[in-house]
Structures are given as C-alpha cells and as structure tokens.
Amino acid sequence: MWNPYNEQHEQFRQTVKQFTAKEIEPNSDEWEKNRDFPNEIFKKAGDLGILGAHYKEEHGGAGGDYWYSVAKSEELTRGRCAGVSMALLVQSDMATPVISDIGTPEQIDEFLRPALTGEKIAAIGVSEPGAGSDVAGITTNAKRDGDDYIVNGQKTFITNGTRADFITLLAKTDPTTGSHGCSFFLFPTKTKGFKVAGKLEKMGNHASDTAELFFEDCRIPARYRLGEENMGFMYLMQNFQTERLIAATGAVASCEHVIAGSREYGENRRAFGKPIIKREYWQHKFVDMYTKVEMAKAFVYQVVNQYNDERYVQGVALTMDTVKLISMAKIVAGDLVSEVMDTCLQFHGGWGYVEEYPIARAYRDSRLLRIGGGTTETMRYYLAKLMGL
C-alpha cells in the first residue's frame, strides 16, 4: 500500500507510540475500572507536542500537516483505552480546530495555545437531549446584552465535560432562522451559572467522562464569540469533517490491532486437537477481515490525502467532493469496525465475553463509532441529498 508518511511523520509516530506504551496502556485497566483518568495526561501529551503537531506554528503548533494527526489517532488505539484516546482527540481534533480556523489572535492566545500544551482542557458542546445529529434542533441560546452574551440551555454527551476548562459551544443567536441562526462561543467553565449536571454511565469508553451540562443566565463577553454571528452552522460543518475523518482513521487502526491480537489468541488456543486458527472456517474469516481492512485503509488514506491537500497544501475551503468522501469514509470505517469486533469476539468463544480479555472492551468501545460525529444513518441521508437521490 502507498505510504504517505515521511521520516518526520515516523519520528512523531514513535513519540506517540512510546507515550501510549508508557502512560496509557499500563494504566488502562485501572482507569477503566475507576471510570476516570488523571488530567495530567493532557499536559504530558502537550509537552511532547502530540496535541499540536498539525497546527500552525504561529498558533502554538509544530506546523505539520494532517498526516501527523492520522498517525496520532492510529497509535493511540494501542493503549487499549478508547476513553483516553477519545478525550485527547476531542482536545486536539474536535474542540480546537475551529479556533485555529476563525479565532482572533486574542482568542488563540487565551484558549488554543494552552489547549495544545495541555494546560487547559477543552470540550465541544453541540449535542443536546433533543438534538444530536439534527443540529438544527438545538435550543441552547445566547442573547446579546450590550458587550456580553447571556447563555441558557443544556448540552449532553459532552466528552471531557466534567473536567473541561472551556467549551467550544454552539448556541442559537437567532431562533427565527433554524440551523443558520447559530453561533460558536468560547465558554469558560468557571462562568457563574454553569453547572455539570451529571456524568453519564456508558456501555463503553468507560475512562472518559461524558457529561450533561446546564447553562443558566451565564454571562460571557462578546469577544468570546468565534467568527461571525449566525454563521456557527457553517463553521460546524467544516469542523465535523475533521471529527469524522479522524474517527475513520482510528477505527481502521483499531481493526488492525484487534485482528492481530485475535490471531495470536487463535494460534495458542487449541480445540479438538489443534489451534483454532488452523480451522478452515476461521482462516477464511481472517482472510476476509484482512482484505476488508486493506480496502478500507486504502480508501480512508485516499480521502485523508485529498483533505490534506485542500486544507494544508492549498489552504482552501473543502470541496463538496471531499466532504462527500469523508462521510463515505466514516460509513465504511464504522461498519467495518463493528463487523471486525463481532467476528473477533465470536472467534474467542466464551472468553470473548469475559472482561479479562481485551476483545470484550474493544467490542463495547467500538460501537460508538457508528453514532458519534453524526450517525451512520445521518451520513447516508446526507450523501443521498448530495447525490440528488
């Protein structure tokens, strides 16, 4: 397969790999059990340049391209702690890209730079109890009051929500115009009237904190608005592409790691006189999985290359063709990871259903990939519209 990585990319990959092996993997079982991990992980990742490698140098990053972020997402999956991987990716690839894209120099200094060093923890606040993939349905609102905005409403499913220092928040500023009446804000969580209502208990990604948030007459300076008023939906659609693409790259990498671990298990686990990997049925299953992963990886890499060329080489807005391909990549990766995890769990037999084995956790954690960042059904609906169907 075509290799898009140069020597600098590979050096960065080794940094992430070593960080994962030292800081995440040895602690993954404890953090899963405790449903939490220490905030210092953000700072340790930031100190190594892991969070900001693909950001501009003038914004506090290392000036790299998007392949640095792909390498990061692939290596973090080795830690067997999807909750921590997700928390770090929310920090570096979901809550902060829009600040880099449209933030003022003052906003970048106050929020983006400390997020890339891990000194401040970021969350992105979009989903609500009555509005997930249907962003137009959000009801959290921000009303202008002189030099301030007053925010009221509720958010849910917010990763890093209990620990965030600030939230990249989407709120309605013109309720008469549907989705196009939204604006983005940088919302410090120390603001009076803000409350973490609770931490949601999830079926997977246990180490990450996923919160319900309430905003009651929260007053923030108008200078914390990101970009133009009522343009938040357009900014969000651009931001979604990064979120969906990084989810796809991580999903394919997870498939590779789980298949490798399952193969090792099958070479040592004997049944009816020989290793179960030597059974013809399972050999065919593994061949099918290897083939599908190679196909998915080739496609996702093609999409990443197109995205990287437009955003990092040409520095232009994404074309609709690229947006379409990113949605396709998320569908392909999400469906594939579900198939691979299910097959590998079945391959483990009864042991696959026991928490002692990594496949049980991987199976639970991977289910989110067909939901987060826009459900698979929403992706297909969106693509059907783009294709004129």
The pLDDT, as a whole number, for residue 134 is: 74
* CATH code, 375: 1.20.140.10
On whether both 79 and 197 belong to a single domain, the answer is no
The mean predicted confidence, pLDDT, of the chain is: 95
Quick one: 87 and 149 in the same domain?
A: no
Same domain, 247 and 354: yes
Q: Give CA–CA dist 64/69, Å, rounded.
A: 9
Question: Which among 124, 120, 123 has a CA at the least distance from the CA of 45?
Answer: 120
Same domain, 174 and 247: no
Assign residue 13 the CATH number of its domain: 1.10.540.10
The last residue of one of the domains, among 87, 120, 153, is: 120
With pLDDT > 70 as the criterion, what percentage of the chain qualifies? 99
Region 74-80 average pLDDT: 96
**Per-residue pLDDT for 52 more than 70?**
yes
Q: Is position 18 within any domain?
A: yes
DSSP assignment letter at 95? S
pLDDT exceeds 90 at position 156: yes
Give which of 333, 270, 275 is closest to 300, Cα–Cα: 333
Average pLDDT on 102-129 reads 97
The answer to whether residues 138 and 182 touch, using CB atoms and an 8 Å cutoff, is: yes
To the nearest 10°, report the CA torsion of 78, 80, 83, 85. Answer: -10
Q: Tell whether 300 and 260 lie within a shared domain.
A: yes
In which domain, by residue range, is 171 found? Answer: 123-226
CA dihedral 145, 148, 153, 159 (to 10 degrees): 170
Q: What is the DSSP string of 122-181?
A: EEEE--BTTBSS-GGG---EEEEETTEEEEEEEEEEEETTTT-SEEEEEEES-TTSGGGG
**Helix 358-366 to helix 232-268 angle, to the nearest 10 degrees?**
160
Q: Is 218 helix (H, G, I), strand (E, B) or coil?
A: strand
Query: Given a cut of 90, is residue 133 above it in pLDDT?
Result: no
Kindly report, residue by residue over 250-263, the tens digit of the pLDDT.
999 999 999 999 99
Clarify whether residues 312 and 187 are in a common domain: no
Summarize the confidence of residues 55-59 as an average pLDDT: 97
Tell me, yes or no, whether 382 and 241 share the same domain.
yes
> How many Cα atoms are found within 13 Å in the side-chain-facing hemisphere of 282?
21
pLDDT at 179: 63
Residue 1 lies in a domain: no
Lowest mean per-residue pLDDT among 128-137, 254-263, 347-356, 365-374: 128-137
* End position of a domain, from candidates 120, 139, 167: 120
- Cα distance between residue 321 and residue 323, in whole Å: 5
Which of the following is catalytic: 119, 243, 294, 310? 243
pLDDT above 80 (res 362): yes
Domain boundary among 176, 206, 226: 226
pLDDT score of 355 more than 70: yes
What is the arithmetic mean of pLDDT over 343-356?
Answer: 96
- CATH number of the CATH domain containing 221: 2.40.110.10
Say which amino acid occupies 273: G
Structural domain tally of the chain? 3
Q: How far is C-alpha 137 from the chain's CA centre? A: 22
Q: Which of 230, 203, 244 is nearest to 366 (CA)?
A: 203
Helix 358-366 crosses helix 82-89 at what angle (to 10 degrees)?
40
Query: Are 215 and 292 in a shared domain?
Result: no
Whether 182 and 170 have beta carbons less than 8 Å apart is answered as yes
CA gap 12, 14 in Å, rounded:
5
Q: Are residues 283 and 346 in the same domain?
A: yes
Q: Do 90 and 163 sit in the same domain of this protein?
A: no
pLDDT per position as a tens digit, 13-23: 999 999 999 99
The CA-atom distances, in angstroms, between 369 and each of 11, 25, 153, 251, 301 are: 28, 21, 27, 7, 18
- Residues 54, 42 share a domain: yes
- Looking at residue 277, its pLDDT comes to 96
Band of residue 178 on the pLDDT scale cut at 50, 70, 90:
low
Instruction: Please check whether residues 188 and 300 belong to one and the same domain.
Output: no
Whether 2 is covered by a domain: the verdict is no
The verdict on whether 58 is a catalytic residue reads no
Q: Is residue 69 part of a domain?
A: yes
CB-neighbour burial class of residue 343 (10 A; exposed 0-12, middle 13-18, buried 19+): middle
Among 243, 246, 308, which residue's Cα sits nearest to residue 94? Answer: 243
362 by DSSP, 3-state: which? helix
